[in-house]
Structure 1
Amino acid sequence: MASQSWNVGVVGYGFSAKTFHIPFVQQVPELNLYAVVQRTPKPDDDAEKDHPGIKSYRSTEDMVKDSAVDVVIITTAPDSHFELAKLALESGKHVVVEKPFTPTYKEAAELNDIAKKQNKLLAVYQNRRWDADFVTLSKLVKNNSLGRVVEYHTHFDRHRPQEPSADASKWKNKVIPGGSAIYDLGTHLLDQAVQLLGMPDRVTAFIGSQRRVNTSGFEDSFTVLLHYKSGLMVTAKAGVVSAEEKQLRFWVRGEEGTFKKFHLDCQEEQLKGGMKPTDNGYGRESSERYGTLTTIKNGSPVKEVVPTVEPPTYTEYYRKLARALAGQGDLPASGTEAAQVIRLIELAKESSKTGRTLDV
């Protein structure tokens, strides 16, 4: 018997749609790229030309009226996520929302309520759950290679001390609801930590700008501390003033061992360079980027190289989505899980503003 398939409509045709969604949707046989909402196609930027046979709409309102659309993927700026997701859900569509989910926990909770009422699936694109380095670390933690974990450092640092040029097409450097580094990068780091270690009990945070010149007031950096009753402390950090040959990614310490890893997962870098998910070597790290595991043997520390696992890649997100649509498994990242991350971000913002540690 043939597998069931679902028609996918993508809202937006910018970097996110072209790089992180459409290529991976097309790798899953059960998902069919059916339509794209692109407000203003150009001769050199036209979804219909890039993907012959799809339907092209100029508004989300028009696309959700199409009864053939089963799943709507929202790839627009975060300040539009709530209204577009609500429209799609109330039109009877399953929905995937690009991260950050929504600017506020209240909006996230409302969307989850609507999805439940409509009996539709609501997922958020936390694709970095399938970063090869995080998958490697997760295996070490779960197989007890580190023993009881007491400190977990997760970084997304870069050296970009100059103020970015104003670009009307890019929201990531603008002061908007759901903008700033804590929403852009923090959602990834916090989601990974919560997935691996659970929700914390308290939050302390410092959010601001490291740049000398910052005319917009954009918050480009953050340090968030997650406190656990067990004594575990998570430090999630992103900065733009970090002149390093190789940037620290993970430093996780336990009673039985320490794992240290430099460099970001290579998938985004490869995608930006033009690689496709089907290309040989996609998602695989070179050996010089492997992490290290240090354990105590005969009373002395012994360091060994830990090869990065062969990753399931971001395609796994959409494989899991297809299985969930068929009623055969959980969502790859549910709206309920993503709402908890937004709650942590709101607490982090309040902690930074008031100088207090807050209970979750």
Structure 2
Amino acid sequence: MVVKTYNVGVIGYGMSAKVFHIPLIQVTPTFKLHSIVQRTPKPTDDASKDHPTAKIYHSATEMFADPSIDIIVITTTPDTHFTFTKSALEAGKHVLVEKPFVPTSAEAQQLIDISEKTGKLICVYQNRRWDTDFLTVRKLMADDTLGRVVEFETHFDRYKAVRPENWKGNLSMDQAGGVLYDLGTHLIDQVYVLFGMPKSVTAVFSNQRNDGEAEPDSLTVLLGYGTNGPLVTAKAGVICVETEQLRYWVRGAKGSFKKFHLDVQEDQLKAGLKPGDKGFGIESEANSGTLVVLEGGKPKSSVFKNVEPKTYATLYDGFMKAIEDGGESAVPVKASDACDVLKIIEAARESARTGKSVTF
């Protein structure tokens, strides 16, 4: 039986490409790193030296015109995502695009329509759906260990006193820059996976750095799910001096779960490890979460280790299978999901601007 190999082209050669995408392409069966767009190679940053078997282009237009490419991965700044995704689809390529998908839900819907017309698939790189601690939370909820969830807190707090010199710090929110589209996209996407679309959104943005910049660097977003639904808090701050940063605090009718520390996969990828390497995705047991449940009417605490990691490679593997035979319904992170997340983000912006809750 002949197994088809899919040629993958990557637009951009920054950290996203090097850390999050090329290593996952390399461990995905039937995917081959075919080419890379790097506009301005440097002596110490040259894709042709790092990947001598890959074709190197200096513009995305050249890549779109290459008929041998099946899939294009877009890792450039989010203000370019709409144009590049549209061009790739219209050139007959499947597309995997970094988060945030595009600046607006209207643009997302346009791309969904083009995807349907061309028959080419879009997958959005919401990799933190495969954070091991998030999968642990999902298991606790699926097993009804916590009972009906009444409050759900998800945090991405850090101490970063200097604004980054990249799109996360330089692009405006209208260009899908800043904390809301960077960390907020991760936080809100995970909430969307668990609970779906909220009934109300209330948001407060702030500049915790007090650095004179107009764009906020921190956020608190409250997502309401009706009288009987959970109250969700999504929070990201940059002036948080802690030895252990809170990640999740989930409270339910039967118990609660509290977890500190971030998933380890990003740091492992930066260190050169890949999915499949020994220990990849496995967090130290010392950083395990704490589960508290009622026993005999009294709260009892225990250490609750993370579930076995599925790793970020699961996203790429799922996209491979969707392209092979699954179609749009099998895409691991659908463009329609990302469109809904953008609608929540737009509601948060409206709430922060007006000081009022926005209802769906």
TM over 0.5: yes
1:1-360 pair list within 5 angstroms: 1-160=1-160, 162-164=161-163, 167=165, 170-176=166-172, 177-212=175-210, 214-229=211-226, 230-328=228-326, 330-360=330-360
State the shift of 1:217 in Å: 2.0
SS at match of 2:170: coil
Distance 1:254 1:285 in 2: 25
State the shift of 1:232 in Å: 1.1
State the shift of 1:283 in Å: 0.8
Distance 2:259 2:62 in 1: 47
Instruction: Give the TM-score taking structure 1 as reference length.
Output: 0.96
Distance 2:223 2:335 in 1: 21
Distance 1:270 1:262 in 2: 18
Q: Report % sequence identity.
A: 51
What amino acid is aligned across from residue 264 of structure 2 in structure 1? C
Whose helix proportion is higher, 1 or 2?
Answer: 2
Query: Any conservation in 2 of the 1:152–1:235 contact (CA below 8 Å)?
Result: yes
Q: Which moved more, 1:71-80 or 1:49-58?
A: 49-58
Pairs aligned (count): 355
Distance 1:49 1:88 in 2: 26
What amino acid is aligned across from residue 169 of structure 2 in structure 1? N
Query: Any conservation in 1 of the 2:167–2:178 contact (CA below 8 Å)?
Result: no
- The superposition leaves residues 55-94 of structure 1 with CA deviations (integer Å, 9 ceiling, x where unpaired) of 1111111111111111111000011111111111111111
Query: Any conservation in 1 of the 2:219–2:236 contact (CA below 8 Å)?
Result: yes
Distance 1:337 1:164 in 2: 29
- The superposition leaves residues 122-142 of structure 1 with CA deviations (integer Å, 9 ceiling, x where unpaired) of 110000000000011101101
What amino acid is aligned across from residue 326 of structure 1 in structure 2? E
SS at match of 2:28: coil
What amino acid is aligned across from residue 263 of structure 2 in structure 1? D
Instruction: Give the TM-score taking structure 2 as reference length.
Output: 0.96
State the shift of 1:273 in Å: 3.0
Distance 1:63 1:323 in 2: 23
Distance 1:320 1:221 in 2: 33
Moved over 4 A (4+): none
What amino acid is aligned across from residue 52 of structure 1 in structure 2? P
- The superposition leaves residues 237-270 of structure 1 with CA deviations (integer Å, 9 ceiling, x where unpaired) of 0001111110000000110110110001111122
Query: Any conservation in 2 of the 1:72–1:95 contact (CA below 8 Å)?
Result: yes
What amino acid is aligned across from residue 60 of structure 1 in structure 2? A
Instruction: Provide the aligned C-alpha RMSD in A.
Output: 1.2
State the shift of 1:47 in Å: 1.3
Distance 2:15 2:162 in 1: 21
Q: Which moved more, 1:332-341 or 1:227-236?
A: 227-236
What amino acid is aligned across from residue 215 of structure 1 in structure 2? G
What amino acid is aligned across from residue 116 of structure 2 in structure 1? K
The answer for unaligned runs of 5 or more in structure 1 is none
Distance 1:93 1:59 in 2: 16
Distance 1:192 1:352 in 2: 21
Query: Any conservation in 1 of the 2:256–2:291 contact (CA below 8 Å)?
Result: yes
